[in-house]
Amino acid sequence: MRIERVIANNRRRVFEVRAGGRVLGYPYARLRVKPTAEDRIKEVFPDGELGYEALTYVLESGKGDTVHLDAVLEYNEDPDHLRDLLLYKLTLEAQKRVAESGLSKRELIRRLGTSASQLYRLLDQTNYTKSVGQMLALLHILGCDVDLIVKKRRKTA
């Protein structure tokens, strides 16, 4: 996903980030370098040097910072982003367990009932087209039990 446009809304004290056809807010309070009444935002733009996956802002004093799109998605609790984070964590665990298991790739492929290319897609942490169910099946074959814990979120300030 890429940032298409970003606007500094000083009245609401948020950046309005347009990405993936949606407008997501990101409050100034979450920034490392915060604007003040004396040091306002001079410029904000999707950063082409970072593949339009981040926004960069500059204050009147010349100070500034960059905010990655992942931070905006996480703040807005984007369901697709949260799913991708879960898949990433499961994939890293599967990679570790494959290395520790001593099972050959051929045996894993046979037990999964799939192809070699599909196994390599499952083990690729940058591939988000796989399903959580496929990752659970792989982890089960590797001798892991995966428990999903649902708990109430802590309130943030």
- Work out the number of other CB atoms within 10 angstroms of the CB of residue 146: 11
Is 151 inside a domain boundary?
no
What pLDDT score was predicted for residue 157?
A: 52
pLDDT band at 156; cut points 50, 70, 90: low
Is 153 inside a domain boundary?
no
9's CB contacts (< 8 A; 6+ apart) are 15, 16, 25
What pLDDT score was predicted for residue 55?
A: 95
Same structural domain, 71 and 89: no
- State the Cα–Cα distance between residues 43 and 56, nearest whole angstrom: 8
Same structural domain, 94 and 71: no
Same structural domain, 71 and 83: no
Is 118 inside a domain boundary?
yes
Residues facing 41 on adjacent strands: 59
Same structural domain, 45 and 13: yes
> What's the domain count of the chain?
2
Residues of the domain holding 85: 79-141
Is 14 inside a domain boundary?
yes
% of the chain surpassing 90 pLDDT: 69
Is 11 inside a domain boundary?
yes
Residue 120 has phi, psi (to 5 degrees) of -65, -30
Summarised one tens digit per residue, pLDDT across range 130-146 is 988 999 999 999 999 98
Is 62 inside a domain boundary?
yes
Among 18, 44, 75, where does a domain finish? 75
63-to-25, 33, 59, 121 alpha-carbon distances in Å: 22, 7, 5, 42
Summarised one tens digit per residue, pLDDT across range 38-62 is 999 999 999 999 999 999 999 999 9
What pLDDT score was predicted for residue 2?
A: 92
Q: Are 94 and 139 in contact (CB under 8 A)?
A: yes
